[in-house]
């Protein structure tokens, strides 16, 4: 069966950190739980089984509203090539890991495909993220494509958090 994928959302970011540390920060619960949330949110649940077919299951809550409901998500690892490539199926989920619709966008694709490539550069690591709607309807693809600008903003804040976290990790070593 051939998968249908949309035009990609692409994000590139340079980190002054070794590729192995960046890879670990993307695949290990002890790291993901400390940085993987947009500004104003915090991770309230984080489990990772980083193997092909394994999952990263997480929940986020607003930092200033601890009684607010959690927003759940899940990555299913499709490919892991340490320390250079991570391919995951991304979806919103419930507390049990079941697939759900985006809590604020009923037309968001149920599944998206994210490919992260890490390349060594003189000053550290270049991360390239390609994210696409997967097996989506035309309406879902249109919603995904229209969201690229807001995704740049949200992922920009998350990448800032990763950059800060990587710097802290290196300072502690």
Confidence band (pLDDT; 50, 70, 90) for 87? very high
What is the pTM for the complete model shown?
Answer: 0.92
Instruction: Quote the domain boundaries for residue 86.
Output: 44-148
Residue 110 lies in a domain: yes
Is residue 21 in a domain?
Answer: no
Which DSSP string do the residues of the chain spell out, in sequence order? -PPPB-PPEEEEEEESS-HHHHHHHHH-HHHHHHH-S-TTEEEEEEEE--STT-EEEEEEEETT-TTSPPEEEEEEEEEEETTTEEEEEEEEE-TTS-EE-BTTBTTS-SEEEEEEEEEEETTEEEEEEEEEEES--HHHHHHHHHTHHHHHHHHHHHHHHHHHHHHHHHHH-
Averaged pLDDT, 146-157? 88
Q: Is residue 16 included in any domain, yes or no? A: no
pLDDT score at 54 = 98
CATH number at residue 100: 3.30.530.20
**Would you tell me how many other CB atoms lie within 10 Å of the CB of residue 147?**
16
For the record, the structure tokens of 77 come out as 């690892």
The average confidence (pLDDT) of the chain is 93
The tally of domains found in the chain comes to 1
Q: What is the mean pLDDT of residues 99-126?
A: 93
Per-residue pLDDT of 10-48, as tens digits, reads 999 999 999 999 999 999 999 999 999 888 889 999 999
Is residue 18 one of the residues assigned to a domain? no
Does 71 reside within a domain? yes
pLDDT at 40: 86
pLDDT-derived band at 103 (thresholds 50, 70, 90) equals confident
* 98 in a structural domain: yes
The two structure tokens encoding residue 111: 């599944």
For residue 153, the model assigns a pLDDT of 85
pLDDT single digits (tens) 44-61 = 999 999 999 999 999 999
């Amino acid at each position: 069966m051939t998968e249908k994928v949309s035009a990609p959302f692409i994000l590139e970011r340079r980190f002054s950190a070794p590729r192995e540390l960046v890879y670990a920060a993307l695949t290990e619960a002890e790291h993901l739980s400390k940085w993987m949330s947009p500004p104003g949110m915090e991770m309230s649940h984080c489990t990772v089984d980083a193997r092909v077919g394994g999952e990263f299951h997480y929940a986020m809550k607003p930092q200033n509203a601890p009684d607010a409901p959690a927003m759940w998500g899940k990555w299913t690892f499709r490919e892991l090539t340490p320390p250079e490539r991570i391919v995951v199926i991304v979806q919103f989920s419930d507390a049990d890991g079941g697939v759900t619709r985006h809590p604020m966008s009923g037309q968001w694709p149920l599944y998206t495909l994210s490919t992260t490539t890490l390349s060594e550069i003189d000053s550290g690591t270049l991360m390239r993220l390609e994210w696409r709607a997967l097996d989506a309807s035309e309406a879902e693809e249109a919603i995904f494509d229209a969201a690229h600008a807001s995704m740049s903003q949200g992922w920009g804040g998350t990448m800032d958090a990763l950059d800060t976290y990587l710097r802290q990790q290196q300072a502690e070593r």
